[in-house]
């Protein structure tokens, strides 16, 4: 049986939370989680000092016999350092940190205090015998440092002396190695990295009764704070999507060998985005990637995990954090535990991301979230004098919102205006001769 | 002497330009408050330390260079730490001296000392990206050409060694050339090479010593990055190796560098008599500072 490797494929599921939840700054109405993206991998990295716990998951949806994962790791890992985690933990982390849409309802402009308040706030905007196998792998320079069955996975920790041998060994053992992988494997071998190879043990999977692949978790101690992405770019069919959630004690995590850029946030958008927040987020991300020439790492969320505002999902419990590997959280409460979450989103390919991602923890504890804001205009009667001013302000605000949306997503402004129910821009409207400037009349002859 | 012959004026313009580019185009997280605090403290520290050491004239140029470099490199969310970094950087010039010459590049000392004492200070090596690399390179090279290689031998020695180490590693690992090229297209590397290690006031006096120092710093940076796997290898390497400079100066004596039209105390704590240098590329007469 040939196993494709590394496999990152999946289906697109759009899950929007329509249930509004009350929060201090606006009503949280929707989130855009990682399920929106095809070929997405999620990695949670808990890191403090040199201690690292990595939880890896991808959206593989095919036949489990086709699944295999080869990950370079900086050290040999023992059986006790590997665990199978729960998909729900990563899903919760994803939901908690997703870009979110919030909404505000404009109050009655005729209630002067409220109107003034808003204005002040600026809102009016193949199997062989074991012996033969051993000899074969020795001749290829491949050493199986350890072999474990953890949950539904068979895991091998390999070290190798030559890339050709390792590639041959992997092929002979049923891994479909892309052309060009040999060079990359060779580089990791010379960097004295080991290879963590996981595949599904069907018997164990049937016994355990899981119908999907649970994330794998590895704990190790190494000064290297990095994520190997080069293997995934060999012969990859187009760019891939990677979400990295780091949980650290000190502060935000950023890349040291690529620019780390914040996703545009706190932007007012037209209210129709409420019904298509998923496509909005995808288009916006694609546009930002295009503008940055697909060469940056985006920060989508950076927050102290003790709280959130508005909450796209409840913060993780102390138990959940511990299960993700946050060993310094004790007891039942996360208060004062100092867990800082950074959510990084990378779209990468071999041309734009030639190196593995290297990270550093910074002292930055400023909170940041991808947050998009809708303002619902007051629809009641506003017969007072402030009503006219309010309507003019709302028109101007809606125009700005449409422009924001077009700018963020690269969508056509005309289309956005139409969708937002806006009239054509003022310059296209009929103007009286008195309103025309002298230069408008200059070439009227 | 024409004012424009002082390489520091070019440096100040260049660093200010880079800061404006970083803040507007690259989104550096340096607010006006941090910039004002850094520059203000650096200038105040220069004035205070200069006064304390008996200087007769206030020269803001070196302090401005240190301040602007700190704005480009130091990241923190605490204004008091910003002020402390600027103070420590400038004060180090007056306090940490061997035979009348300060030991550390002030920016390097201020930055590394703050990273050592506080976990709220960091340097973002990746903040430059590769986008404006060539414009950046031209600006740096322009500085060298304009000022006829004021002690640029140390910069070239460092750069050549750094490139050789990276290419050597690439060849050993069998990696594609894109990897070292990506690493080399770094604004952080250029800033370090042309504005920090090449600081003529803290590099060894003799040319062979400067070349050896450049190679050593490159080796140290490689060790920190690829053996210890820590970030900011260049900054750490320069910091750790700077105390070697007095030793190198003793083993290989050479002529002490002075800024053109250097005035007593302006940059060196008042222990030096005024020394005029006709050409920044040339060295001051031996004995003038001893």
Residues A413-439 have pLDDT tens digits of: 999 999 888 876 555 555 566 666 677
- Interchain CB distance below 8 Å, A256 and B231: yes
Sole residue written with tokens 């700077």: B242
**Residue A27's pLDDT is what?**
52
- Write the pLDDT tens digit of every residue in A320-364: 999 999 999 888 777 767 899 999 999 999 889 999 999 999 999
8 Å CB contact between B68 and B13:
no
Q: How far is CA A110 from the centre of its chain?
A: 43
Task: Give CA torsion, residues B75, B79, B80, B84, to 10 deg.
Answer: 50
Measured CA to CA, the distance from residue A314 to residue A97 in angstroms comes to: 10
Q: Residue B267: is its pLDDT beyond 80?
A: no
Average pLDDT over residues A267-292: 93
Average pLDDT over residues A233-238: 76
B166 exposure class (CB count in 10 Å sphere: 0-12, 13-18, 19+): buried
- Write the pLDDT tens digit of every residue in A63-101: 777 777 888 888 888 888 999 998 899 999 999 999 999
Measured CA to CA, the distance from residue A308 to residue A306 in angstroms comes to: 7
**Residue B172's pLDDT is what?**
94
- Write the pLDDT tens digit of every residue in B26-46: 888 898 999 999 999 999 999
User: Which among B143, B94, B280 has a CA at the least distance from the CA of B200?
Assistant: B280
Classify strands A153-160 and A40-48 as parallel, antiparallel or unpaired.
unpaired
Residue A142's H or E segment, with its range, is: strand A142-150
Give me the domain span that covers residue B184: 3-251
Q: Is residue A298 domain-resident?
A: yes
Q: Is residue B170 domain-resident?
A: yes
Q: Is residue B172 domain-resident?
A: yes
Lowest mean per-residue pLDDT among A29-43, A153-167, A248-262, B190-204? A29-43
**Residue B272's pLDDT is what?**
31
Q: Is residue B284 domain-resident?
A: no
Residues of A in contact with B183 (CB under 8 A): 257, 355
| Segments in A325-434 forming alpha helices (H) | 385-409, 413-419
Count of domains for chain B: 1
Q: Residue A14: is its pLDDT beyond 50?
A: no
Residues of A in contact with B125 (CB under 8 A): 256-257, 360
Residue A38: CB atoms within 10 A of its CB come to: 14
Residues of A in contact with B79 (CB under 8 A): none
Residues of B in contact with A293 (CB under 8 A): 131
Q: Is residue A51 domain-resident?
A: yes
B170 lies within 8 A of chain A by CB: no
Candidates A230, A259, A357, partner chain B, best to mutate (most B CBs within 10 A): A259
Count of domains for chain A: 1
Q: Is residue A160 domain-resident?
A: no
8 Å CB contact between A374 and A269:
yes
> Which two structure tokens, joined as six digits, stand for A77?
């890992």
Residues of A in contact with B121 (CB under 8 A): 363
**Residue B268's pLDDT is what?**
39
Cis peptide before A6 (omega within 30 of 0): yes
> Which two structure tokens, joined as six digits, stand for B4?
């424009």
- Interchain CB distance below 8 Å, B174 and A190: yes
Give me the domain span that covers residue A310: 3-126+219-428
B144 contact partners, CB below 8 Å, separation of at least 6: B150, B152, B155, B194
B41 lies within 8 A of chain A by CB: no
Measured CA to CA, the distance from residue B253 to residue B249 in angstroms comes to: 5
The DSSP code for A75 is: S
Chain A closest-CA separation from residue B89 CA (Å): 20
- Write the pLDDT tens digit of every residue in B205-261: 888 999 999 999 999 999 999 999 999 999 999 999 999 999 999 998 877 777 665
HSE value, Cβ hemisphere, 13 Å, CA-based, for A278? 13
**Residue A12's pLDDT is what?**
22
Q: Residue A198: is its pLDDT beyond 50?
A: yes
User: Which among A251, A309, A262 has a CA at the least distance from the CA of B26?
Assistant: A262
């Amino acid at each position: 049986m040939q196993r494709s490797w590394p496999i990152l494929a999946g289906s697109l599921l759009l899950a929007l939370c329509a249930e509004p939840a009350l929060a201090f700054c606006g009503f949280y109405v929707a989130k855009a989680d990682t399920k929106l993206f095809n070929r997405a991998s999620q990695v949670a990295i808990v890191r403090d000092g040199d201690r690292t716990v990595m939880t890896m998951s991808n959206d593989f949806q095919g036949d489990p016999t086709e699944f295999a994962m080869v990950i370079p790791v900086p050290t040999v890992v023992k059986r006790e350092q590997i665990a199978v985690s729960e998909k729900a933990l990563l899903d919760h982390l994803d939901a908690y940190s997703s870009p979110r849409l919030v909404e505000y309802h404009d109050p009655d402009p005729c209630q002067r205090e409220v109107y003034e308040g808003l204005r002040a706030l600026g809102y009016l905007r193949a199997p062989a015998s074991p012996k033969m196998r051993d000899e074969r792998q020795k001749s290829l320079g491949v050493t199986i440092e350890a072999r474990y069955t953890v949950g539904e996975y068979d895991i091998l920790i390999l070290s190798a002396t030559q890339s050709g041998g390792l590639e041959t060994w992997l092929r002979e053992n049923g891994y479909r190695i892309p052309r060009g992988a040999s060079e990359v494997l060779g580089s990791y071998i010379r960097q004295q990295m080991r290879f963590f190879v996981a595949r599904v043990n069907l018997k164990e999977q049937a016994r355990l009764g899981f119908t999907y692949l649970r994330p794998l978790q590895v704990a190790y101690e190494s000064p290297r704070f990095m994520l190997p992405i080069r293997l995934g770019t060999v012969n990859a069919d187009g760019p891939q999507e990677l979400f990295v959630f780091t949980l650290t004690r000190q502060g935000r995590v950023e890349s040291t060998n690529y620019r780390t850029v914040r996703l545009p946030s706190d932007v007012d958008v037209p209210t129709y985005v409420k019904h298509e927040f998923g496509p909005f987020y995808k288009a916006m991300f694609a546009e930002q990637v295009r503008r940055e020439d697909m060469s940056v790492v985006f920060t989508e969320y950076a927050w102290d995990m003790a709280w959130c505002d508005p909450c796209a999902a409840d913060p993780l419990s102390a138990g959940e954090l511990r299960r993700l590997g946050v060993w310094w959280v004790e007891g039942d409460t996360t208060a004062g535990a100092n867990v800082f979450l950074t959510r990084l989103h990378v779209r990468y390919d071999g041309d734009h991301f030639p190196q593995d991602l290297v990270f550093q923890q910074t002292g930055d504890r400023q909170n940041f979230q991808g947050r998009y804001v809708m303002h619902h205009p007051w629809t009641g009667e506003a017969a007072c004098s402030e009503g006219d001013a309010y309507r003019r302000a709302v028109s101007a605000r809606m125009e700005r919102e449409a422009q924001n949306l077009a700018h963020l997503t690269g969508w056509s402004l005309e289309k956005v205006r139409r969708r937002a129910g806006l009239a054509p821009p003022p310059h296209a409207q009929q103007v009286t001769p008195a309103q025309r400037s002298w230069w408008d009349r200059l070439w009227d002859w | 002497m024409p004012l424009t012959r002082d390489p520091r004026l070019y440096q100040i313009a260049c660093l200010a330009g880079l800061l404006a580019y970083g803040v507007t185009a690259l989104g550096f997280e340096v607010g006006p408050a941090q910039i004002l605090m850094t520059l203000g403290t650096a200038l105040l520290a220069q004035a205070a330390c200069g006064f304390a050491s008996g200087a007769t004239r206030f020269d803001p140029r070196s302090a401005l260079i240190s301040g602007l470099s700190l704005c480009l490199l130091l990241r923190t969310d605490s204004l008091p730490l910003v002020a402390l970094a600027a103070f420590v950087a400038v004060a180090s010039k007056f306090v940490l001296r061997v035979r009348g010459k300060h030991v550390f590049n002030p920016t390097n000392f201020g930055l590394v000392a703050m990273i050592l004492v506080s976990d709220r200070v960091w340097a973002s090596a990746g903040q430059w990206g590769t986008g404006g690399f060539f414009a950046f390179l031209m600006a740096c090279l322009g500085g060298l050409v304009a000022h006829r290689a004021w002690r640029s031998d140390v910069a070239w020695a460092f750069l050549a060694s750094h490139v050789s180490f990276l290419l050597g590693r690439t060849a050993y690992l069998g990696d594609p050339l894109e990897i070292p090229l990506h690493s080399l297209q770094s604004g952080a590397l250029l800033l370090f090479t042309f504005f920090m290690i090449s600081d003529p006031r803290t590099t060894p006096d003799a040319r062979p010593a400067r070349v050896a120092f450049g190679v050593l710093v490159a080796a140290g940076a490689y060790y920190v990055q690829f053996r210890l796997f820590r970030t900011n290898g260049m900054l750490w390497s320069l910091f750790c190796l700077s105390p070697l400079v007095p030793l190198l100066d003793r083993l290989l004596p050479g002529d002490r560098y002075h800024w053109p039209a250097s005035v007593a105390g302006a940059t060196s704590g008042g222990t030096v008599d005024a020394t005029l240098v006709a050409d920044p590329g040339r060295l001051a007469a031996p004995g003038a500072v001893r």
